[in-house]
Structure 1
């Protein structure tokens, strides 16, 4: 079940549309964004705005923008979250649980859990497989998080989860998404570069590479086409690239 149905952009509140993050090309023409899908993917090159929008949604949901849920307080000193101020979220039903995963700051989140465990005891790890995330490999800690922390009814915002996952673990993650989605308890919005994750059936793929944010079919994404063409003839690609 999709909980977050729509995001509306209140551009009349923006004084200077030439300033970041309001000058992101993919977002400037958008008045509203349909997110009425159980699984939504944001795709695009680095710098096109997918992580910026995902962070704004996390901030609007009340999640820690360095990663975590509503009860995780991680100070974020990176600054500009003004995009969140012009967003209106339309829910049905409203949920206040979930998680925001930022692959690049996951180490900080794991440290935060260790600090909390020192203060309150090992029960802190109960929702994370029963042991510190730091005692697991990066990929294992991600899978542990997915399989244990993502059991609550809620919305899960993930920024490049494939960063720590081998291709085999990405397939395992697809199974985790499927299991949670079919309970009717989870909605996923995922920014990714992974053609494996993007293959998830009946999902919505939104491309930030276009002039305006728009949906794309899996086979039409650059991620799928480039990977397919490379695997079909890697020698031709490498000969051209390395000549």
Structure 2
């Protein structure tokens, strides 16, 4: 399994203070992302082929991903909010790359997946409109009296004969765009990952479980594991999902701990809560 990115170092408390000492700008209400991660107590992140950032809302895992993505100059489909000090912070970071460079480097966020789902939904809407039009065409062609008067009526004759010969579903299906099907939100979200993730790539995933059912989360977990094992991909993932947290061989950073700790997935508070819940209700599954 490959490791394109070996380590990433965030500015220490001393480095941040030195930066502020040299600033003469005083008109800003926020210095984000400064002063967000220093209290974690572990400024350097060591990576495995799969590395997971775990923590509650406000723990800084999305900030870490965005900072790393900017340092890596990773591609992204959706813009994100930056402050006037974001690039200053990125410049203070350092990283150690592996011997091999990734062919693709992407950050995938919930906004990217949501936008893709909206596009699919728009396509589905277009399919519905086209289907309704074809239903009307079928009814009119099947029951209307038709007589061909010239070559200009040839296409109408073919439609009329097809309506007489075919059932409504076959008539409509044959005239919808080829290779087009409708997708649910969960299918669309899963499809986005399978289309975006290619061989020999470094991918930063921000809560990829959003919009995915438990079944789809399990499928995504297996897809990511296979991509890391067999297709030379490296993943850095922020997640709460117990399915993704269980990724075999993943290095997990618990951002809820102070200082930040590397933990097994079964030691994480979120996973323990799920375990305790199902233990309480175990007899109901018998």
Q: TM-score, normalised by structure 1?
A: 0.75
Q: Which structure would you say has the larger Rg?
A: 2
With a CA cutoff of 8 Å and minimum separation of 6, indicate the structure with the bigger relative contact order: 2
**Cα deviations across residues 16-70 of structure 1 (Å, max 9, x unaligned)?**
39943222256553342211x1111111110010010011111222234xx43xx
1:184 Cα offset (Å)? 4.7
Paired residue for 1:200? 247
SS in 2 for 1:100: strand
Paired residue for 2:56? 45
**Cα deviations across residues 142-168 of structure 1 (Å, max 9, x unaligned)?**
221222221231111111111111000
One of 188, 191, 195 as aligned partner of 2:238 = 191
Matched, 1:88 2:91: no
- Higher share in helix: 2
* Maintained 8 Å contact 1:139/1:169: yes
Distance in 1 separating the partners of 2:231 and 2:187: 26
* Maintained 8 Å contact 1:22/1:28: no
Q: TM-score, normalised by structure 2?
A: 0.64
1:188 Cα offset (Å)? 0.6
1:97 Cα offset (Å)? 1.2
Distance in 2 separating the partners of 1:188 and 1:162: 14
The alignment of Structure 1 onto Structure 2 pairs a total of residues equal to 209
Paired residue for 1:127? none
RMSD over equivalenced CA pairs, Å: 2.9
* Maintained 8 Å contact 1:26/1:213: no
Unaligned runs of 5+ in 1: 69-73, 114-129, 236-243
